[in-house]
Amino acid sequence: MFIKKISLENIRSYKKININFNRGSTLLSGNIGSGKSSILLAIEFILFGFQKGISTETLLRHGEKDGSVELEFEINNQNYTIKRTLKSNLGYLVDNNGLTQLSVTELKQKILEILNYQKDFLTKKPLIYRFTVYTPQDEMKLILSSDVTTRLETLRKVFNVDKYKRIRDNSKIINSELRERKKEISGKIYDLESKKEKKLELINEKEELLPLIAKIRKTEQTIKETILEEKKIIEKIEKEIIIMNENKKQKVKLQEEINSKNNIISRNVYQINSIKKELEENIDLYNIDFKTEIKATEQIIDKIRKDNILIIEEIAKLNHKKENTDKIKSNISELDICPLCKQKVTIEYKNMVIFREDKELEKTNIDLNIYIQKLLTEEVKLKSSLSNLDDLRKKDKENEVIKIKLIERETKKFLLEKFEKENKLLQEDTFIFNKKLNNIIIDNNLEEECSNVKVIYELNLTKEKQILEEKIKLETKLNYFFAQIKILEDEIIEKELMKSKLIELDKLETFLSKDFTDLMALIEKKVMLKVHSEFNFLFKKWFKLLLEDELIEVHLDESLSPVILQDGHIIPFDNLSGGEKTTSSLAYRLALNQVVNNIIGNVNTKDLIILDEPTDGFSNEQIEKIKDILNELNMTQIIIVSHEPKIEDFVDNVIRIKKEEHISYIS
């Protein structure tokens, strides 16, 4: 893993800043409290989110509502950019697939996949990261000064050795479940032998039943054949009875036909006599075309009515003219001033107008009397024409009735001939039907014969039913035996399988309780021996490199606790000087880094290490040793946090951090 760039916004003493990193060794230089460790906390937060000791309160700049961290890094030649905000539950990841917005949980899972960390390694603190990449110096000293049990349990988790203990504990749980399973199976197969005995009993009973079923099936076949023959005889007689009944129906039908035809002949004779009597009546027809005269009269009436309308219109016009004359006379009498010329109307002018209108009124009355007389004359003509029209229509109607009677007369002649011919044919048919009727012979003994055969047939059906019931009873019993035998066979097979499973479970329980547990303990011991050997070697190596004092010797005991000897006497860690504590912690830290990376060799952070104040309490000679350590580590990227200016002489890159008025920045 190679960190390229980190961007902080409102993180502790930082307002907004971008920090670029290079390959090789990089020193974060600055006075105590300038903000160097804040960058390390931000890196851990962006990778793993909020952990124990890292919260919104510890990261958010005082007085701000929200802050964020963005980190750009490279793993296996692939670039990644991740961003988290302190208040939001969302973040984003940029990789070869583009930008993806993720929840806090999804982002944490994705980072674990990218770093190739197992989920189990991320507890309240990211142990692998803390012991291989970045461990605050005070925290490492705390581990070294803690009790043996706590330190060993922590290191077992880091080395992933505690899984063997979990395996042993889980095997005990499995063994307990196996014992319960064995007890359950034993309870289910306790009756296996009794099931086998019951199966043999049922097989014997089944064998005894088979001859009885064979015998009754033969008897059933015989009675079926007898019933079949009797059924054929019954069917034959029933067919003859059907024919006989048809003959009876035919005879009745023939008699009904004869009676019907005789009735028709009688009715026809009555009709013939009636028609002959009617044909004797004389009928006279008018030889006049009344329809032509009716049409001519209707035209005359129509003309009179049209003329009357014209006369009435003229009378109306003359009456209207009289009204206008009277109106003019009335208006002129009352008029004093002319409405057009505005001059006074004289009496002479009024008299002249009245005289003129009187003359016109006289002429109008003469014309009106002429039209009234003419209208009266026309009304007389109309009344006469209407009376004449009624007479013509009455005579035309009488003539039509006579014509209908003449047509009916011809129809009756036709009917007379038809009835006479029909009676002749009916008499011939009656003769033929009587002949057929005499030829039909009825055998009344067939029904009695059929009844006798049916009695025997019904008795045999009852016998067949009894045989069938007995057969069904035996076959049901046989099927019951088969079903019970099949159930027992299935149960026996299942219980035999359970018995085999019980033997397997017993073997598995024995293996887990003895061989497997011993094997896990042996593997754990060998792994811990290997870890101890390598860890002890590296711890001694880094300690000697940092502190060349022949009077002091170091090693790790079985609990991986550092043992420091001076003149052959053990010195407690808390009694060491500040420089000696830092030396022990750094040596332990570097050794732990290499051992963990060797054991968990596929993590993607093995080429990165962050050293937090590694020279605290060091002498000048020890500080010079840091150069040898950097060369010895030979990592892609080493980030050192220190306020010691001498380290600047042997690192590849220096990032100087200053703080003014509570704001950190890069100088």
Distances, alpha carbon 200 to alpha carbons 189, 207, 318, 445, in Å:
18, 11, 139, 63
For 625-637, the pLDDT digits (tens) are 888 888 888 889 9
Ordered by where they begin, the domains of the chain are 2-146+547-666 (3.40.50.300), 290-439 (1.10.287.510)
DSSP string across 141-198: HHHHHS-HHHHHHHHHHHTT-HHHHHHHHHHHHHHHHHHHHHHHHHHHSTTHHHHHHH
| Residue 163: partners with Cβ closer than 8 Å, 6 or more residues away | none
Q: What angle do CA 394, 396, 401 make, to 5 degrees?
A: 95
pLDDT of amino acid 11: 95
Q: pTM of the predicted model, to two decimals? A: 0.51
Note the pLDDT of residue 138.
65
DSSP single-letter state for residue 514: I
pLDDT at residue 40 in the model: 92
Tally Cβ neighbours within 10 Å of residue 607: 18
Q: In what order do the strands lie in the sheet with 14-20?
A: 14-20, 2-11, 68-75, 78-85, 90-95, 98-103
User: d(Cα 413, Cα 423) in Å, to the nearest integer?
Assistant: 16
Q: State the pLDDT at residue 74.
A: 96
Residue-level pLDDT at 43: 94
For the chain, residues with pLDDT lower than 50 are none
pLDDT for position 81? 96
Residues paired with residue 99 on neighbouring β-strands, in sequence order: 94
Report the distance separating Cα 667 and Cα 659, nearest Å.
9
Contact between 609 and 638 (Cβ < 8 Å): yes
